[in-house]
Amino acid sequence: MGVSNNITAVLNFVAIICSIPIIASGIWLASKPDNECVANFRWPILIMGLLILLVSLAGFVGAYWNKQGLLALYLFSMALLIALLLILLVFAFVVTRPDGAYDVPGRAYKEYNLRGFSSWFRNRVTGSGSWHKIRPCLAASDVCTKLTLNYITADQFFASHISPLQSGCCKPPTVCGYSFVSPVLWTNPVNPTADPDCYSWNNDQNQLCYDCNACKAGLLGNLRKEWRKANIILIVAVVVLIWVYVIACSAFRNAQTEDLFTRYKQGWV
C-alpha cells in the first residue's frame, strides 16, 4: 500500500469517527418525545450519519487494498453527502431562525406564539392533517405528568425552567389568569376572553391544552431548540469532513500518479 493510500486510509478512519457523533445526534433527536410524534423530523440526521459511516468504510477498504474504483466511488459519494449535509444545515438554520418565545412577568419559563415561527416550519408541523396525528401522541406521552413529580407549590412551578412543550401543552396561557392547583390542574380564570386558548384549556389529563395554539407553538419551540443543539455538532462534523475530503482528493491523485510511475518503471525494465 503506497504512502498516498496510507494517508487516505487514515483520513477515512477520521471520517468514520466523525460519523459517530452525527449518528449519536440522530439517535438523540429521534428519542425525544416531541420528535417521536413528528415522524418527518426523526430520521434525516441519523440516516445521514449512517450513510457517511458506510461511505467512509468503503473508502477505508478501497485505500487499504488499493481498489481505485472503490476509492473513486467513495470520493463521488462523499462529495454528494457533504453537499446534502450542507443543504440540511442551511435549511435547518433558515426554518428554525424565527423564535416565537416571549417573556411572561413573574415566570421563569417562557411562553410561545405560533405566529413567531417560520411559515414552513409552522405549516409542516401544525397543519390540520399533521396535528390530528401529533396530538394523541403528545397526550399519550409523559411530558406533562413529569411536572407533577417535580413541582408541588405554585412558587416552585413559576420559578422553574420548563420546556417549551410543557409550557405550551401542560398549562393554560398565563394571560387567562387561571389559579394554580398543580402543574396540570388550574381553575377559576379571571380573564377567560384574553386568548382563544383560554377556552381550549381542560383539566382532563387527556385534554389539557393539547388543542391550544400555545401547544403547537410549544412543540415548534421544542423542535427548534433541539435542532439548534444538533446543528452545532453537524457544523463541526461537516468542517472535518470537508477537510478530510480535500486531502483525500489530493491523496487519490497522488496514488494514481504513483501507480502510473510504477507501471512506467516496470515497462522500462
Kindly report, residue by residue over 20-59, the tens digit of the pLDDT: 998 998 888 878 777 778 766 668 888 899 999 999 998 8
Q: What mean pLDDT is predicted for residues 224-231?
A: 89
Q: Both 211 and 233 in a single domain?
A: no
What residues have CB less than 8 Å from 165, skipping those under 6 apart? 33, 34, 138, 143, 215, 218, 219, 221, 222
What residues have CB less than 8 Å from 175, skipping those under 6 apart? 191, 194, 195, 198
Q: What mean pLDDT is predicted for residues 89-108?
A: 91
Q: Both 63 and 111 in a single domain?
A: no
Q: Both 177 and 259 in a single domain?
A: no
Q: Both 124 and 198 in a single domain?
A: yes
SS3 content of the chain, % helix, strand, coil (to 5): 70, 5, 25
Side chain identity, residue 53: L
Q: How confident is the model at residue 1, as a pLDDT? A: 45
pLDDT tens string 179-195: 999 999 999 999 999 99
* DSSP codes of every residue in 101-143: EEE-TT-SSEEE-GGGS-HHHHHHHHSHHHHHHHHHHHHHSST
Q: Both 170 and 207 in a single domain?
A: yes
Q: Both 112 and 182 in a single domain?
A: yes
Total tally of structural domains belonging to the chain:
2
Q: How confident is the model at residue 133, as a pLDDT? A: 87
How are beta strands 179-182 and 185-187 bridged, if at all? antiparallel
Q: How confident is the model at residue 216, as a pLDDT? A: 94
Assess whether pLDDT exceeds 80 at residue 267: no
The model's confidence at residue 259, banded by pLDDT at 50, 70 and 90, is: low
Assess whether pLDDT exceeds 60 at residue 70: yes
pLDDT tens string 5-19: 677 778 888 888 888
Exposed, middle or buried: residue 153 (CB in 10 Å: 0-12, 13-18, 19+)?
Answer: exposed
3-class DSSP state of 202: strand
pTM for the model stands at: 0.85
Domain that holds residue 63: 1-98+225-266
Q: How confident is the model at residue 110, as a pLDDT? A: 95
Cβ atoms of 190 and 177 within 8 Å: the answer is: yes
Q: Both 210 and 125 in a single domain?
A: yes
Q: Both 36 and 125 in a single domain?
A: no
Q: Both 235 and 125 in a single domain?
A: no
DSSP 98: S
Assess whether pLDDT exceeds 70 at residue 261: no
Quote the longest CA-to-CA distance of the chain. Answer: 98
Q: What mean pLDDT is predicted for residues 117-135?
A: 84
Percent share of the chain, pLDDT over 70:
90
Q: What mean pLDDT is predicted for residues 237-242?
A: 90
Assess whether pLDDT exceeds 90 at residue 200: yes
pLDDT tens string 99-109: 899 999 999 99
Q: How confident is the model at residue 109, as a pLDDT? A: 96
